[in-house]
Structures are given as structure tokens and as C-alpha cells.
Amino acid sequence: MAEEWATFGADLHLDLRDAGQGTGLRAALMDALREAVRSGRLSAGVRLPSSRTLAADLGIARNTVADAYAELVAEGWLTARQGSGTRVAQRSVPRRRTGSGGPGGQGRPGGARQGAAAARRARARPTYDLKPGMPDLGSFPRAEWLKASRRALTAAPNEAFGYGDPRGRIELRTVLAEYLARARGVYARPERIVICSGFVHGLSLMGQVLRARRVREVAVEAYGLEEHWRLLTRSGLRLPALPYDELGTRTDGLPGMKGVGAVLMTAAHQFPLGGALHPDRRVAAIDWARASGGLVLEDDYDGEFRYDRQPVGALQGLDPERVVYLGTSSKSLAPGLRLGWMVLPESLVDEVVELKGHMDWTGSALDQLTFAEFLESGAYDRHVRAMRLRYRRRRDELVAAVAAHSPQTRVSGIAAGLHAVLELPAGQEPEALRSAAWQGLAVLGLNRFRHPDTAPAQDGLVVGYATPPDSAWSGALAALCRVLPAP
């Protein structure tokens, strides 16, 4: 366990006597803390006193301490997490200031010997996380969730503590049906909904059901998540890729793909490229499914987050008998909840429920009842609205920073979701990723999402802008700008 601040007592000499006032005091405090970390007097993982306590100890304003902590978090010396306070970061590697090279003025550490070691450390433990896929975990609505949980527990009937329906709690399926119809245009009835442990659980159930139905191939998009593809290949399915163009995934090619029994799609917001499927292509997918008896597996992973106009409705509304709708709370709330849902065509309900009953029966009834309460009380709508504003602001700041520091870099896929694609000139992705590692920046290249049968078409970085806490956001943006081509 990390040592607590109190263990250090008088050992930590923060001498601020000559520091003056205001920003001078803050700078002196930051220097003193950096020095304490550098010299090892404050070791990795140690919890610092609260800003109130340290301010009282030093006889200075609390804001001065809070500002100094925030800046040291942004620089990577400290970490701040709700509930566990401010701690010395595991990787407190000082980075030299060059006085130039983008916002923040931090450049690459000089010297080849120091460089190789620093690069290795930076790769091992990034300071800033801009990988796509995660919402802002610090904004999880703890207080509202706790209230919903209390209400749910108080009202839960005794039978809720027994083995339940493999489809999940009826209370949740009922309010979810109403919500999905209202917010996502899904044709949903409670008896057709199956609650599962996130999208991946629903997808693996579907993989097994399709294989049991003797489907051999599921078409996938040219870009997507390898982890999801692997779930399907593990069921014995082959995954040919559909090409992608400016209208989105070429669903018009489906009739020519004999042997394909289903298609997996992110129609509302292609992952990771970010476009919405063109209406003609939506219709083409449904026409193919009707004519061939095939199924569309619709991954609606972040449908709530559309910024510049109304969210694009779910494809499922076009034909609920041919589309399996898969939704999740992983982006709108938190992946740790492991709460997802499937809305099934009537013809699939029995097969899916039987398989699920054999495998894992049902998830936690209390979490499901809490989520039902959270939805019904309007807390979910309020949370999604607040997060939409927050993420839109982040997106705007990202676009503005890129325009200012690398005007030739196009930012695409920005109308929705929690990530954007920064397009790079051909061949520059590997160097940009290396440079990001130098900067202590975790970010992913576009090509890692490319299906193996798809020819390389575009280099880029896929930037998830929801993850960094506020205290690290401007530092993360500055590091990102240093990675991009200069004007």
C-alpha cells in the first residue's frame, strides 16, 4: 500500500518563504513539489494532503494549492482521482521545456541515450489517455445512481432476490422499451428485450445462435473493432468485409456476397470513421435482409451522442423482424456497469433466451432494478443531456486546437460520439504514433481498426476526447498538437 502523507511529516521541507504572492507562490509550490518528487522524498503512489490541509499548513490560499496540484496533474507529476485524492504519479518523468513547439511549450527530451529510455517509459505508462472507447468515468452520476439504488432496493419484491428470467427484470425491460422507442426510434416490446452484460455479451450470444442456424459468414464493416470480430470468429463464423466510401458502408454489395447470413453494422455512427450510414445504404441493408432472410446486427454503441442535430434513429425501426438491435450503457454511463440490451426479432427470442439460460441465466437483478429506476425517474435523460454538452465542448476545443496548430490536418467524424479521426498524410501514421509515445500520449492509429481484407486507404489517429479528467485535458490537447504536422 502507498505511504500516506503523514508518514513524511517534517521530512518534506516546502520552503516558500521567498516566494512572494499569487502566481509566484504557486510556481514556488510547484517547484518545491517537483523537487520533492524528483529527489524521491515523495515516492510514486503517495497521497498528498488535501488542498485545504496543505494550504492551512503553509498559511497560503487554498486556491493556490489547488491550482498548483491541477497543473502538476496536467504535467504528469501527480494524478487526481475522485475518491482517492491527489497522488504522486507512477511515472513522474520530468520533461524538458524547450520554450517552443506548440501549446504548453514542451518539446521532446533531448539526447539519444536519455531519449530511448524515456520513450520506453512513456510507452509503458502514458500521461494522457486519448484512446477511443471510454466515456468520462469521473462524471459517473454517483449521487443519482445511489438514490436510484436505494429506491430500487426498498421497492424490490422478495422474488427479485431469487433466480430470475434469463431475459432480465421486467421492470427494466418495460422502461427500456419506452425509452428506446422515444429516444432511438426502436420498435421495442418488453418481451423482445434481453438484458445482457454489455454489447459484447449480446454479440457473442448472436454468434452462437447464427452458427447453430448454420450461418457460415457474417459481413462486417471495413473498419471496426478486432475484439468484436474475434467473438464471432470464435463461434466458427467467417467475416468478409464490406467496402466503405463517402456514403458509408457499401451495403449495396451484400446481394453479391453469397453465403453471408448476417451483417454487423454501426449504422448511426460508424466506428471508428464516424459517419452516419447514408439513407440509401440503410434501405439497401434492409432490402438485402428481407430478400435473403438475413439479419442485420445493429451496434448502437453511442447513439445518444449526436451534437449538431437530432440523433440518427436506429436502423431497427425500418424492419424490427430483420434487425437485431444491440445497445449498451458503456458510453452513456460507464462500461463497468456491464449493462447492455438486445431487441430481438420475434423469431429469435426463444433461441436466444434458451441459450442465455444455459450459459449464465441472468445478470444482477439489483443493478437492473437500479437502472430501471434511474431511467424512469428521468435521471438518465438528464445525465445524457449534461454529458452531451460536456462532450460537445471537448470536441469543439479539439477541433479549434487542431485548426490553430496544424491547419492542414482534417478532423473527421465529429458530428457524434466520443472520438474523432485526425487524418494524416499517407505514410505518416507510424511516426505520429511514435511521437505520441514520446509525449506520454496514448492514442491509436486508424489502421489498427482496418479489416485485414481492406486495402489501406487513409492514415490517421483515432482520438477519444471524453476520457481525460478536466485537470489533464489541456495538457492532453497540447501533447496531441505537438504530434501533428506543423503548418
Ligand X SMILES: Cc1ncc(COP(=O)(O)O)c(C=O)c1O
Note the residues at the interface with ligand X (CB under 6 A): 133, 198-200, 225, 266, 271, 299, 301, 328, 330, 335, 340
Amino acid identity of residue 203, one-letter, is L
What is the Cα–Cα distance from 272 to 411, expressed in whole angstroms? 13
- Give min distance, CB of 323 to ligand X, in A: 16
Choose between 197 and 474: whose C-beta lies nearer to ligand X: 197
Closest CB to ligand X among residues 301, 380: 301
Looking at beta carbons only, is 199 or 244 nearer to ligand X?
199
Q: Shortest gap between Cβ of 337 and ligand X (angstroms)?
A: 9
In the bound state with ligand X, the residue whose beta carbon lies nearer, of 292 and 412, is 412
Beta carbons of 375 and 176 less than 8 angstroms apart = yes
What's the CA gap between 171 and 215, in Å, rounded? Answer: 34
Least distance to ligand X, CB of residue 303, Å = 11
Residue with cell 478486432: 226
- Cell numbers of 290, please? 428481407
CB of 330 to ligand X, least distance (A): 3
306 vs 405, beta carbon nearer ligand X: 306
CB nearer to ligand X: pick between 45 and 336: 336
Q: How far is it, in rounded angstroms, from Cα 219 to Cα 454?
A: 13
Residue of closest CB approach to ligand X = 198
Peptide bond into 190 cis (omega under 30): no
Task: Choose between 95 and 331: whose C-beta lies nearer to ligand X.
Answer: 331
Q: Which residue from 391, 483, 475 is spatially nearest to 437, judged by alpha carbons?
A: 483
Minimum CB distance to ligand X smaller for 394 or for 405: 394
DSSP of 393-415: HHHHHHHHHHHHH-TT-EEES-S
By the 8 A CB rule, do 383 and 333 touch?
yes
Smallest distance, ligand X to C-beta of residue 195, A: 12
Bridge partners of 78?
88
Nearest distance in Å: CB 299, ligand X: 5
Alpha-helical segments (H) within 59-163: 62-75, 112-124, 142-155
**C-alpha grid cell, residue 246:** 463517402
Least CB distance to ligand X at residue 327 (A): 8
Provide the minimum distance between the beta carbon of 221 and ligand X in the complex, in angstroms, as a whole number: 10
The Cβ of residue 253 has, within 10 Å, a number of other Cβ atoms equal to 15
CB 274, CB 420: distance < 8 Å: yes
